[in-house]
Amino acid sequence: MKQSFLKTAFLSTVFLALLSCSSDNNTDTNPVVVPPVLVDTDPLTTTNVATYMVDKNATKETIALFYNLKKLAKTKFAIGQQDAFNGFYKDAGGDSDIKKNTGNDPAILGSDFMFITDKNNNEQSDNWFYQQEKKITDDVKSAYAKGIINTFCWHLREPNNEDSFYAADMTMEQKNTAFKSILPNGANHEWYKKKLDKVASVVANLKGVNGELIPIIFRPFHEFDGSWFWWGANFCTAEEYKTAYQFTVDYLKNTKGVHNILYAFSLDNSYTTEANYLSRYPGDAYVDILGIDNYGDFNNQGQAGADKANAKLKIIADLAKTKVKIAAMTETGYQITSSNTPITNWFSTFLYSALTSNNIEVSYVMFWTNNKDAYYVPNATATNASDFKSFTTKSKSALMNTLPKMYELPK
């Protein structure tokens, strides 16, 4: 940063000197118009990346992913989907619905630790939950081999009965005590550590063909500003939330020695100011990616909704510049069902506007999963297929075919 300041000061001095010479010798009264000198003030370089990351001992592929995501945002945003390789509209298997529509793979694959850490996963080959674990991890490996980015959320079931992650399915007593119980010295802290042990084991065994660890983005305790999940704002204080998030990172990174994770902090769309956004922020030492999950602003609100979403993205994009972090739309979408019809130009006009207006720098956007009866991303047969395809071919959009090599630092 100091070098950038000195460079700017030097160029300004040269400019003033030239302007002075021009004033002394030029009889033309029209002012000399000199274009401003643009100086890249981004302090991130290929040699100092790790200093801005949560894990200073991250693998070289993970370091490269952080660097390339940060730099990608200057020109493009990556496009992905949760369960892209397994969630299909009308159960039409094969390629992802994104590829069916566009001819190209998604740039991001979203996965979930939910089934992997389920109490019923006994790690036996005939166990359904273990079969899901194998399917998920195989998909992650396939995605990495193609150059796709992998991200995980975690719909962790509550610690009492482990039946649901929704607060609505819990008693009032359970809602008021569940989150507090997983904190250090809490009644279910050891239970939580065992869940993290499973996460650590899985992530430490995600390897490429050359034995290298596959980097993932991990987004724990997401959408915490709402209270539909048992870790929501109504069920823990800001300090309790920060403590749980910090413990999660420290345990995986320091206790379990997992060094192939980027950590994402992700609210829902309730905030309108920087202070709102940071009210439960665990600190720069614990966060690589500043995210927002935003469905509400795109729920049939047209350009006004897109503008609201853009304003919220700008808050985190500006924070990402200041903190040298990555900004992302970690979840979004407008679900189409038999009774919920497509909105004209939802992707190509409203969403694209939200992601690009006001010169914001957003690294990626991820849509939620498709299923047999409903979709967030249209396949080739859907009535709004052309709108999505148009969205993906715009100048700032990137599917896998236009991603740089995300796991290598540029030479």
Question: What does the pLDDT read at residue 297?
Answer: 98
CB-based burial label for 271 (10 Å; 0-12, 13-18, 19+): middle
Residue type, 310: N
| CA–CA separation, 362 and 365 (whole Å) | 8
Q: Where are the alpha helices (DSSP H) in 34-184?
A: 60-72, 97-102, 128-146, 172-181
Strands (E), 53-154: 77-82, 108-112, 149-153
| Lookup result for tokens 């897109």 | 306
Angle at 209 (CA atoms; ends 206, 212), nearest 5 degrees: 55
**Which H/E stretch holds residue 100?**
helix 97-102
Question: What does the pLDDT read at residue 42?
Answer: 83
| CA–CA separation, 167 and 235 (whole Å) | 9
**Which H/E stretch holds residue 262?**
strand 261-267
Q: Are residues 362 and 86 in contact, defined by beta-carbon separation less than 8 angstroms?
A: no
CB-based burial label for 117 (10 Å; 0-12, 13-18, 19+): buried
Question: What does the pLDDT read at residue 222?
Answer: 98
Question: What does the pLDDT read at residue 217?
Answer: 99
How many CA atoms, within 13 angstroms, populate the side-chain half-sphere of residue 28?
Answer: 5
What residue ranges of the chain have pLDDT lower than 50?
A: 1-29, 38
Residues carrying an active site annotation: 223, 331
Strand bridging mode 326-332 / 108-112 = unpaired
Domains assigned to the chain: 1-41 (no CATH), 45-402 (3.20.20.80)
Q: Which pTM was predicted?
A: 0.90
